[in-house]
Amino acid sequence: MGLVSFKYTGAAILLKSPNDKKDYQFLTLTNQLKVLLIHDPKASSAAASMAVNVGHFHDPIERQGMAHFLEHMLFLGTEKYPQSGEYQRFINQHGGSNNAWTGTEFTNFFFDIDPQYLEAALDRFSQFFIAPLFTSELVDKERQAIESEYQLKLNDDVRRQYQVHKETVNPAHPFAKFSVGNSQTLADTEQSLAREDLIAFYQQQYCASRMTLVISSNHQLDELAPWAQHYFGNIIDKQLPKWAIEAPLYTEAELELEIHVQPVKDHKKLFVAFALPCIDHYYKTKPLTYLSHILGNEYPDSLFSVLKQQGLINSLSAGGGVSGSNFKDFNISFGLTDKGLAERDEIVNQLFAYIAQIKQQGLNSWRYREKQAIVEQAYQFQETSRPIDVVSHLSINLHHYEPEHVIYGDYIMAGFDEAELRQLLDYFSPSNMRMLVSAAGLTTDKEAAWYFTPYAVKKIEPERIAHWQQIGINPLLKLPPPNPFIVLGLNGTQTGPTTEKPIILRDQAGFRVWYKKDNTFNVPKGSLYIAVDSEHAVKSIRHIAMTRLAVELFLDLLTEITYPAEIAGLGYRIYSHQGGFTLHFSGLTAKQYLLVQLVLSTRKFGKVDSDRFEHIKSQLIRSWKNQKQGKPISQLFSQLTSLLQPANPPASLMAKAISDVTVDEMPGFVEQLYKQVHIEVLAHGDWQQQEIETLADYLLKELAPNSTPGAETKRRLVDISRKGSLVREVNCDHNDSAMIVYYQSMHTTPMHVARYTLANHIMSTTFFHELRTRKQLGYVVGSGNLPLNRHPGIIFYIQSPVAGPQHLLRCIDEFIDTFALVLMELTQAQWEISKQGLISQITEKDANLKSRSQRYWASIGNKDWRFDQREQVASALEIMTRADLIRFITQLKSRISDRVIMCSYGSAHDGSDKLTQGNFIWDPGEFKLMAPKFIN
């Protein structure tokens, strides 16, 4: 299997990929805390994660949301470090980040940081689990943050459907509990105070033996081990019994159900779920991976293919669904057409016909070996991930796998077991199913608690169940054939000369090719980017929308053709942008050229089926219109970029622009796309130079045989200088108000990038603490860098259930206007530490081939053809003084700055004071037309 193992005294043997150069050590501390230590000599950041086997399933029935509330509170001060926000400031100051999440049965806390500050960070982090304060004032404030988080998702269809699921399971199962919590479930009552209940819950549930810790750093293992014992050895082991759920997720009363749900967004979906027991013990053979692979395959004549050809579905996925320590839902999900919604029983008919075929003909050792070869290949040539992602993932794995399989457990497929597969397939029966249909216009008679989802539940009629139980094989359906794209016997990467940075292999009118042989990551993979710029694609809003429609038609056509390649470890994306569109190929280089030929040979897609055209056009229009149902802050972001980038029009205008486009127009439009093009290519990875020379010849021949060489399409950005405060109000149908304040740099030099980036780095944590934690304006509060068309920018944003735009702007302005004083109060040491923390972030080593390819491609797009902007920005930061940054932040003051203010009035604040100051943009189309522009 290509495994390498390491043995440590008193520790388990950990299996790791041959491509993994890190060292591992597994420990169990004296308090029964399980610890995995990772020595990563090449890492430029350190990270740690604690996974606690406590989640919302553990919530007291009278305090639903308590586990989530506790997760929030642990960040807000400990006996040793009592100041609220100190932990976040320390992590941020030293180039790191931190977060946490609460799930059904686990809560996960994690951070990363500059390695030289790891020990001090572990000291702070460990105190979460030893001596949190639960300060009364902060309990009250953070309860409001939970309420804001709850309010934020009231229109989220995933949450709304999840609540319906909770109300239709066995009410004795903890899955039925309300997971998020709000100000009602977490309120102080005559019977109990929330703070007292928090402390009791923490003391009763948090325990060293329920925790797993992973620490990763460039420090040696013998340095990390004493830190683990010293800082985490004092977590109390309460010898709590192993967590177990006695009640089943479903009784007979909750099976054979058909559930109808009305969504907020306009979509049509069908979910067929089969109830399984816990499957954790199957991880060594992964039978559900095998079944998902067959049920969800997209080969010609597959279940997906036949249903799509019949006009019933647009998409199919198999294998998802909720899971826990005593249950697993196996879902088959269908994206429906109008016809499919009306004929959903026919979809279920064919599903059971395919299951019958799998039972009779689909349990084959060669199919298992194919899947086994693919996952083993992924394991053997495993790429490095960011340390923060690694520790978070492995801390959860420690709860699910035997210690030696903490890494390999995700990949291991130990062998084909037909009896095991048949045992699981017995659960895939009509009497063990649930159906959920989500679509507008369905008849409902219930309303879900908390999220107010309209729904209805009924037992599936016995005659339908009996019919599905009798269904046999459908001769139209076929099981997947052997996969020609699977590469067997890969022994490693090709040897060959390389260069420090990408070089230009071809540079001629309308065609440029960059190439870089990778000799760093030791994987036989590559990334190939092909950008096609065409003025025809962005000539008007209609053309921009038609280009996006052409991309969707292209992707739809490719689904079945390219499916075997995707399953075998190859991938591709096609996406439109401000100049045209880009094709991105990735994965194993051995067969990537074949995939490129397969994709590009169908690039004009010939005659399009008229029914399929209408389906895809309707789907695209619907997705654009559904953006109006998104979170207000998301709508404001979208409207901001549309306002400033002329080639990025609003979704509503694109939907209108293609409403009358016909199938007969598309071939001519696509033909014109290629009439005058500029093609930019980057090939980075395990390729020899001659292979890319051959590829370049092919691209010229295939993409531009009769084209006139074109120039790169100009990217335009509205210049907001000398405009003062520009205000744009957006109508969002939501209870919350929202605001974004955007500042734009007129210049693109490394020094200007450095100023904007450092300002955000220093301001972000304090902005969050002041406006979210202290003032409790909302759950979504933050600042960030927003570069547009190479121009640096900084944004401040809030979505608030408690305040309208006038108050939000006042709070943002007060923060910005007074922040120079905060900078003045920093000591010189604090100033230097903040700068160095950002420099560490900017110059952090690429984690893997994918991230380096992305960086190279972004550099090419930004005209950073020396590929050294990171280093130039870092150098600018080194020489930047505090006085420089104070001058810059002073220029952001509300009374003198040029900026864009995007806002929406929530239904809760319609009567609040309106914004009156600023230059209002009433007609964004005219504004974009008349405004001066930067052209890149």
In sequence order, the 6+-apart residues with CB closer than 8 A to the CB of 532 are 580, 581, 582, 583, 673, 674, 677, 678, 679, 703
Q: Which domain covers residue 700, as residue numbers?
A: 503-608+663-714
Residue 392 lies in a domain: no
Residue 484 lies in a domain: no
Q: Which of 814, 593, 794 is nearest to 698 (CA)?
A: 593
pLDDT tens-digit readout, 384-427: 999 999 999 999 999 999 989 999 999 999 999 999 999 999 99
Separation between Cα atoms, residue 133 and residue 434, nearest integer Å? 45
Give the pLDDT confidence score for residue 9 in this predicted structure: 36
Give the pLDDT confidence score for residue 4 in this predicted structure: 30
The domain boundary, picked from 714, 730, 756, lies at 714
Residue 588 lies in a domain: yes
* Residues 456, 310 share a domain: yes
* Residues 371, 282 share a domain: yes
Give percent of the chain above pLDDT 70: 98
Radius of gyration of the chain (CA): 28
pLDDT at residue 2 above 50? no
Structure token digits, residue 597: 């030929």
Separation between Cα atoms, residue 526 and residue 108, nearest integer Å? 33
What's the mean pLDDT when you consider all of the chain?
94
Question: Count of domains in the chain?
Answer: 3
Q: What is the DSSP letter of 771?
A: I
Q: Which range among 406-410, 602-606, 858-862 shows the weakest confidence by mean pLDDT?
A: 602-606
pLDDT at residue 868 above 90? yes
Residue 5 banded pLDDT, cuts 50, 70, 90: very low
pLDDT tens-digit readout, 127-180: 999 999 999 999 999 999 999 999 999 999 999 999 999 999 999 999 999 999
Residue 580 banded pLDDT, cuts 50, 70, 90: very high
Separation between Cα atoms, residue 745 and residue 936, nearest integer Å? 14
Residue 601 lies in a domain: yes
Burial call 284-293: b when 16+ CB within 10 Å, e when fewer: ebbbbbbbbb
CB 139 within 8 A of CB 183: no
First to last CA, the chain: 51
* Residues 449, 422 share a domain: yes
* Neighbour tally for 419: CB within 10 Å: 7
What count of Cα atoms within 13 Å lies in the side-chain half-sphere of residue 75?
21
* Residues 706, 725 share a domain: no
* Residues 724, 691 share a domain: no
* Residues 164, 66 share a domain: yes
In sequence order, the 6+-apart residues with CB closer than 8 A to the CB of 568 are 374, 483, 485, 486, 487, 588, 591
Residue 365 lies in a domain: yes
Residue 642 lies in a domain: no
* 3-state SS class at 318: strand
For residue 308, the domain's CATH number is 3.30.830.10
pLDDT at residue 556 above 90? yes
* Residues 833, 688 share a domain: no
CB 330 within 8 A of CB 321: yes
* 3-state SS class at 632: helix
* Residues 440, 550 share a domain: no
Mean per-residue pLDDT, 605-620? 87
pLDDT at residue 605 above 80? no
Mean per-residue pLDDT, 192-220? 97
* Residues 371, 300 share a domain: yes
Residue 8 banded pLDDT, cuts 50, 70, 90: very low
Separation between Cα atoms, residue 73 and residue 199, nearest integer Å? 10
* Residues 557, 471 share a domain: no
Residue 672 banded pLDDT, cuts 50, 70, 90: very high
Give the pLDDT confidence score for residue 704 in this predicted structure: 76
* Residues 538, 422 share a domain: no
Strand partners, 433: 274
Residue 487 lies in a domain: no
Q: Which of 233, 279, 556, 545 is nearest to 424 (CA)?
A: 279
Strand partners, 849: none
Q: Report how far apart, in Å, the C-alpha atoms of 744 and of each of 685, 720, 785, 854, 877 are.
A: 36, 7, 10, 24, 19
The domain boundary, picked from 681, 714, 747, lies at 714
Give the pLDDT confidence score for residue 302 in this predicted structure: 97
Residue 708 banded pLDDT, cuts 50, 70, 90: confident
Give the pLDDT confidence score for residue 606 in this predicted structure: 64
pLDDT tens-digit readout, 299-334: 999 999 999 999 999 999 999 999 999 999 999 999
The DSSP secondary structure of 363-425, one letter per residue, reads: --HHHHHHHHHHHHHHHHTPPP--HHHHHHHHHHHHHHS-GGGTTGGGT------HHHHHHHH
Strand partners, 856: none
Residue 10 lies in a domain: no
CB 95 within 8 A of CB 840: yes
In sequence order, the 6+-apart residues with CB closer than 8 A to the CB of 184 are none
Separation between Cα atoms, residue 811 and residue 797, nearest integer Å? 11
Give the pLDDT confidence score for residue 12 in this predicted structure: 60
* Residues 443, 539 share a domain: no
Give the pLDDT confidence score for residue 3 in this predicted structure: 30
